[in-house]
């Protein structure tokens, strides 16, 4: 899809540019967990290094957060195209589209980096074995030796900012 959008000049519009970024994010999102899962399945091993867990967690969270923000940007694009068609070329210029994409990637990365750094610095006193097929932060929190209620609250706030607010923006744009 990314290649088709790039090759066909008729598809060089903000909607298709955003769609190609969504395709890239989906491809990268699935690439964070599946290769390690397939390796573990084929080799019979079921382990990952602590650093590998952090890298996997960072990219998984980056793609998840960025995708929600990009979907909200796509909803805004459709909202402007339908409700303000005469203003569309001004409101959704190539520069604005690029800013929305860079903003999605940047905010998703910052959110993921903060969560990953925090989780990697928590002291773990229980077994470092998680019963999950990838390194997921909610699966790692119960292994901590300290009280994690503040961090769990921050996960709640992050979920509202990166999932609920974009979802509400998407649904209101269709309303």
Q: Is the pLDDT of residue 55 over 70?
A: yes
Q: Please, are residues 108 and 63 in contact by the beta-carbon 8 Å criterion?
A: yes
Whole-number pLDDT of residue 131: 64
Rounded-to-integer distance, Cα 138 and Cα 113, Å: 16
- Rounded mean pLDDT of 155-168? 90
pLDDT band per the 50, 70, 90 thresholds, residue 56 = very high
Size (the chain), residues: 175
Q: Is the pLDDT of residue 45 over 70?
A: yes
Q: Is the pLDDT of residue 132 over 80?
A: no
Whole-number pLDDT of residue 23: 94
Q: Is the pLDDT of residue 128 over 80?
A: no
**DSSP characters over 34-45:** HHHHHHHHHH--
Q: Is the pLDDT of residue 53 over 90?
A: no
pLDDT in tens, 71-118: 999 999 999 999 999 999 999 998 999 999 999 999 999 999 999 999
Whole-number pLDDT of residue 145: 85
Q: Please, are residues 169 and 72 in contact by the beta-carbon 8 Å criterion?
A: yes
**pTM, whole model, 2 decimals?**
0.87
Whole-number pLDDT of residue 142: 81
């Amino acid at each position: 899809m990314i290649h088709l959008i790039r090759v066909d000049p008729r598809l060089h519009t903000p909607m298709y540019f955003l769609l190609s970024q969504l395709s890239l994010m989906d491809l990268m999102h699935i690439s964070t967990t599946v290769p390690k899962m397939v390796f573990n399945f084929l080799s019979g091993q079921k382990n990952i290094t602590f650093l590998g867990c952090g890298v996997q967690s960072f990219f998984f969270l980056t793609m998840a957060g960025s995708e929600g923000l990009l979907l909200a940007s796509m909803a805004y694009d459709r909202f402007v195209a339908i409700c303000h068609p005469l203003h569309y070329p001004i409101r959704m210029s190539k520069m604005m589209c690029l800013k929305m994409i860079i903003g999605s990637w940047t905010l998703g990365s910052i959110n993921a980096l903060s969560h990953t750094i925090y989780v990697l610095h928590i002291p773990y006193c229980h077994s470092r074995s998680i019963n999950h097929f990838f390194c997921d932060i909610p699966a790692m929190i119960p292994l901590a030796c300290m009280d994690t209620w503040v961090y769990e609250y921050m996960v709640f706030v992050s979920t509202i900012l990166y999932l609920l607010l974009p979802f509400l923006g998407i649904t209101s744009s269709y309303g």
